Structure 1
Amino acid sequence: MGKFRLGLIINPLAGLGGSVALKGSDGVAAEALALGAQPKAGLRMHTALEELLEFKDKIIVYTASGAMGEDVCRAMGFETEICYQAPLNTEAGDTKSAVAELCKLQPDLLLFAGGDGTARDVYAVVDEQQVVLGVPAGVKIHSGVYGITPKAAGIVVRLLLQGELVSLMEADVMDIDEAAFREGTVRARRFGEMRVPAEPRYVQAVKMGGKEVDELVLADIAAELIDEMDDSLYIMGSGSTVAAVMQELGLDNTLLGVDLVQDRQLMASDLTAAQLLEATENQKVKLVITLIGGQGHILGRGNQQLSPALIRRIGKDNIVILATKTKLKALEGRPLIVDSGDPELDKALSGYYRIVTGYRDYVMYQVANPSE
């Protein structure tokens, strides 16, 4: 399997003002250091990473130089690549610059240590699809993007590496006006949302007696995909989960074949590999697929019409995977499998994907390939 790609950023100034009663670090880092404050963010990240030590050979860390990540990661023995050269005296702009460079590498998870100001800086530049998680290291932690403790943040990442179902949710990025706070006024503001992992949450409205009711779950999955549909040409793969989307759209469906949908209308049915290549030339395309229950294959079993040439044209970022949590749990932590017949493509497709498991409900799950 491919290595877990962990983006990692530490704001070395986070939390400096707390121990010296400055009620924050924004704009007062120099004053805090002069008063004897000791940087804590690196230690906080160290605590989180301790939860991952047994998985070191399965992780590659992309980070910034020095105190912004490199020092801690190398000291702990993680395979580390530097994507941003940080100055000796960092500032907020360095967090933004480092995150921007990290996002170009599309890490499976971006782990950052800081406080609400750091979360704001990450939010300012991060791609909305990027999954992030904060290691609390600041004075102010109002945002919902942080683990409740550094160790808790590490445990969530460990669950991912263990193959557990880790739900995704949108969490608020909050911050307060520090100048007003120092004068005794709490003035909080919501700046937006970032996508974060959480421990598995299997109880939802469409369950009865703790078990998913398949028809209701499939209807929820279908409603979520339909809500997200844009003007792309959608290749609708085979299987009952994708069929539920077609049913919700009121369109005829080829259960064991591949259909084309655009603007929620059926454009063509039961296409061959050659027909799909012809129909998608110079088009904006998305592929909707599901897994074969029990096996976990998403490519290479029952959908050979989806040729390597077509998949390369579509691109990894335009593949939408639908699945019930029941099917995913039945895999008992085994990854989803791509077996396109092209080993290089299979390798490129590996990694962690956002799986649609209900309405506004997702989990992160690993896709691998037989050659690794």
Structure 2
Amino acid sequence: MTANEMTGGEALAHMLLAHEAGPIFGMGGFQLLPFYDAARRLGLQHHLINDERCGAFAADAYAKVTGRVGLCDATLGPGATNLVTALVESLNAGIPIVALVGNTHRLHSWKNMTQESRQVEILRPAVKEIIRIDHIERIPELIRRAFVVATTGRPGPVVVDIPEDIAHATYPFDETWFEVDSTYTAAPALRTRPAAENLAAAVELLVEAERPIMLCGGGVHISGAAQMITRFAEAINMPVAHTMSGKGSIACTSALNAGIFGRYDRIANRLIDESDVLLVVGCKLGEIATKRYTLPEPGKKIIHLDIVAEEIGRTVIPSVSLWSDAREGIADLLEVLPQDELKERLAKWAATVATRMQQWRVDVAPRLTSAEVPINMARLLHELNLNLP
């Protein structure tokens, strides 16, 4: 074995390289200077921003677009606390983030060091997990842990809190310590499938359904399940409605797309009222999706599929619970359903979606073509839709 004496900051940079790090967004501070020096020398893509909030939101956007872990950094005190709003967004949206945050030299902590604050306590409720590094030799282990937590279950942000003395100290790291499992470079890193007995119960409800509808949330995109959702819906003629974050679960141009449900619906809420079975996929059924908890009406048969078991039943008690990754759970359902039989039986129900959507367009046409001044927002968006490629 060979050992390489390096600073804690350089060890951090090596661990990000091992995880095939993309761009890092942040604002440097003295506490993490060895990390920035190593990032430059090792070729990491660090982008200096003018406010830590911008850096955290940029990391969130990168992760949303790519599915890979978003990276940001900040110095202690106000640098750390500026991350809060963006980290809460990532936490609520299920976005994998690793944020490196500098902290005070432990020898001088709580002696009125410049910008010192209780940043760990402030950041803790804004993230999925906060990891404090108190021993330099644990840097490889704990950065691996940060990526595992960020990309598994419901993905989310992880803060790695690094004292100044840890970043500036040196240690003879063995090169093998920087080996990582590439599984955890993107989310979802691991997938679960529903239990056989729960799957059978869901199949029983769907086989008996006359007017089922699928309700899709942002978890569909976290799972990368949109193609599977489309395949499922088309295979059995099941209408699909979605939340704002679930938009795109099935193409907006599909005849099976009933649009947004909840507070901002077009035709979907009425379809939910008329349905006899709801298949909820990757959706927390929060305030907006349920129109402040007035949807669905009590007694509705519901199959709730979600990667986070504790979200199932939080706002609505389901008839069947499926603890599963969205893509894998829907694939398992499709495999055991009598597809041809359901497709024929649900054809008439499915056809009402396109008919109702067309009637909705007729009803709102005056707003979409309004000549009022200043321009009506509906007209503006309608013209953009007509003219954008």
TM-score of the alignment, normalized to the shorter chain, above 0.5: no
Q: TM-score range by the shorter chain?
A: 0.3 to 0.5
Larger Rg: 2
Task: Give the TM-score normalised by structure 1.
Answer: 0.33
- The answer to which structure has the higher strand fraction is 1
Task: Give the TM-score normalised by structure 2.
Answer: 0.32
- The answer to which structure has the higher helix fraction is 2
